[in-house]
Amino acid sequence: MTVVKARISLRGSKDSYSSIALVDTGARMTLVDRLLAERIGVVYTGRVLSLVSISGHILKALEAVVPVLEVEGGVLKYEAIAVSDVPEDVKKVLKESSLDENIVIGLLTIERASMVPDTTTGTLRKVESFII
């Protein structure tokens, strides 16, 4: 199985940030490192989340909203994200894979952008949204 990665851009109330990040097919929410979230300016909702990291560690995260999140050209306004201190061992693995160490893209973000991860090509594929 190929690692899926995507171009991502965050625009907060203070700053913007763009990079190439891992699309984690096992992650529900997009995770943003606390220092990056503070730098760009996000709005915290007050909700505390409990997440399991890539390395298997339990992380406490704060839910926040970023005004604009763009993934592979798909623009999402007021996207909910999880903000936490990304563990150093996770940052190291991401960096060694030439991926951003401050962001991991989750499936809710991908689904909102009407995309699906393609593990055969390592890219995101645009799909039509549907209702069941």
* Residue 132 is assigned to a structural domain of this protein: no
* Residue 96 neighbours by CB distance under 10 Å: 9
Q: What percent of the chain has pLDDT over 70?
A: 94
DSSP string, 7-59: EEEEE-SS-EEEEEEEE-TT-SS-EEEHHHHHHH--EEEEEEEEEE-TTS-EE
Tens digits of per-residue pLDDT, 97-108? 999 999 999 999
Residue 46 one-letter amino acid: G
Output the pTM of the full model: 0.91
Total domains in the chain come to: 1
Tell me what pLDDT residue 54 has: 63
* Residue 131 is assigned to a structural domain of this protein: no
* Residue 109 is assigned to a structural domain of this protein: yes
For residue 102, give the CATH number of its domain: 2.40.70.10
Distance CA 95, CA 124 (A): 20
Cα atoms in the Cβ-side hemisphere of radius 13 Å centred on 80: 14
Cα atoms in the Cβ-side hemisphere of radius 13 Å centred on 8: 27
* Residue 102 is assigned to a structural domain of this protein: yes
Domain that holds residue 69: 5-126
